[in-house]
Amino acid sequence: MAKLDKASGECLKIVLKDFSIEHTITSLSKEIGNTRMGIWKTLKKLQADKLILLIPVGKGKTSTYLVRLNWENPLVEKTLIMLLTEEAQKYPRWLANFSELEGKADFLILYGSILHSPKDAGDIDLLGVVSNKKKFGEIRKIIEKIQITQIKKIHSVNFLEEELRDELISQKNPAFIEALKKGSILLGQEKFIKFVKNKLEKKYIG
Amino acid sequence: MDKNEVSDCFRSAIKDEEKGKKHKGLLFGKVNEEMAKSYLAKAKLNIQLCELYMKNGFDYMIPEAWYYTLYYCALAILLKFGITSRSQRCTAIFLRYAKEKGLIEYEDEFIDRITVHRGKEEKSDVDKREEARYGPLIRIEDVPLQYNSMTSMCKRAIEQCEEIVFSDKEFNVPKELFSE
């Protein structure tokens, strides 16, 4: 698997995590802060590597392109796992603090101001997904134990996959949409990707 | 903070080591990230112990657990500089020096509380720990009264220690401490 440049990695992560809109060159350019020409070059390279699909809307040379992940290529999931794991490594403090939740939550997202300004953050926001309801109690106990050592309030919200899907798709809960888009997937990157692929992406297909 | 006092902590440790004696100072070596994290984990365990002691009425154990929460945080920070300490006095001396030099962001209160005072009239948490540990009392009146504020203070120390321990920044011991 070839090492991706920063812009390519950012494009892939945004298309994965920000499922609330269909991404185009313009939207990615706005999110990443690169020129449209720069993004276009990045996307053409990702297309050549079969990591994304560029789907034209309308006819003609100037048509808009929708950017979608090419799930048919098994390297897409592997590349995304690597990108999300790399991103989580930027937060060793929180990885260490919440390592006990490994194996309890299918995936765990750390989001909010704790990521970019930990000193000023009022609390520690966590969003977790579990495979069965029994895990809610186990997670709560672990969080309570961690809370004893932390001055900031840990605000942990946990869902079953279907419940989170409902919050995101039916309720369009802006806080959780933002959590997915801007948060860091601390644990369970592989399961998070499968969740997006199987539970969220399908709403665009067909 | 007089830099000579800090330098003496390093000098005396080197002298003792050369004589084959257990040193009572500070030794400068390699930065040990893993050991720093282990001390931080031990600090957290001590604050968790406080809750256990409080729930079960073991009041006299709590001042010691508060003290060790702060002291293990201090040892964790020293290890980010590559320093190991075998002296409570020198641990606090170095932290105060590092704070005054702007090398770390760590509240004075956390350093004051682990400072060893030689004079009888000056007291810190070092003395409270000793009194609680070696004194005859099983119940200490002040402990329940101070419990919330002391626990919050310890958590703040852990937070600031975590910031240092998990920081990418290099923490270098100033060369002035090793110059004659």
A-chain residues near B158 (CB < 8 A):
149-151
Q: Which residue has the higher pLDDT, B34 or B122?
A: B34
Tell whether B163 is within 8 A of chain A (Cβ): yes
What is the reported pLDDT for B90? Answer: 96
Which residue is listed with tokens 């039916």? A170
- pLDDT > 90 fraction of chain A, expressed in percent and rounded: 87
Residue B146, min C-alpha distance to chain A (Å): 16
B101 vs A131: CA distance, rounded Å? 51
Q: Which of B171, B23, B150 is nearest to B89 (CA)?
A: B23
| pLDDT at residue B81 is higher than 80 | yes
What is the reported pLDDT for B125? Answer: 87
A183 vs B72: CA distance, rounded Å? 32
Domains of chain A: 6-79 (1.10.10.10), 89-204 (3.30.460)
What is the reported pLDDT for B17? Answer: 87
Q: How many CB atoms lie within 10 A of CB A91?
A: 18
What is the reported pLDDT for B147? Answer: 96
Query: Could you say which residues of chain A have pLDDT below 50?
Result: 204-206
- Integer distance in angstroms from the first to the last C-alpha of chain B? 17
Q: DSSP E strands: which ranges in chain B?
A: 26-28, 83-85
What is the reported pLDDT for B129? Answer: 86
A-chain residues near B156 (CB < 8 A):
151
Query: Which of B49, B50, B147, B162 best tests the A interface by mutation, with the highest count of A CBs <10 A?
Result: B162
Domains of chain B: 3-168 (1.20.120.330)
B84 vs B28: CA distance, rounded Å? 7
pLDDT in tens, A21-76: 899 999 999 999 999 999 999 999 999 999 999 999 877 667 789 999 999 999 99
Q: In the structure encoding, which two tokens stand for residue B33, read together?
A: 């990230």
B-chain residues near A97 (CB < 8 A):
162
Compute the C-alpha angle A51/A57/A61, nearest 5°: 95
Q: Nearest Cβ partner of A151 from B37, B48, B152?
A: B152
| pLDDT at residue B100 is higher than 50 | yes
| pLDDT at residue B178 is higher than 60 | yes
Tell whether A93 is within 8 A of chain B (Cβ): yes
ipTM for this prediction? 0.88
Please tell me the pTM assigned to this model. Answer: 0.89
Going edge to edge, which strands form the sheet with A153-160? Answer: A153-160, A123-130, A107-111, A184-187
What is the reported pLDDT for A204? Answer: 47
- A52 pairs with which residues across the strands? A69
Average pLDDT of the residues of chain B = 93
* Mean pLDDT of the region B126-141: 84
A-chain residues near B68 (CB < 8 A):
none
* Centroid of chain to Cα A149: 28
* Centroid of chain to Cα B122: 18
In chain B, the residue whose alpha carbon lies closest to the alpha carbon of A92 is B166
Residues ≥6 apart with Cβ < 8 Å to B99: B106, B108, B111
A-chain residues near B165 (CB < 8 A):
93
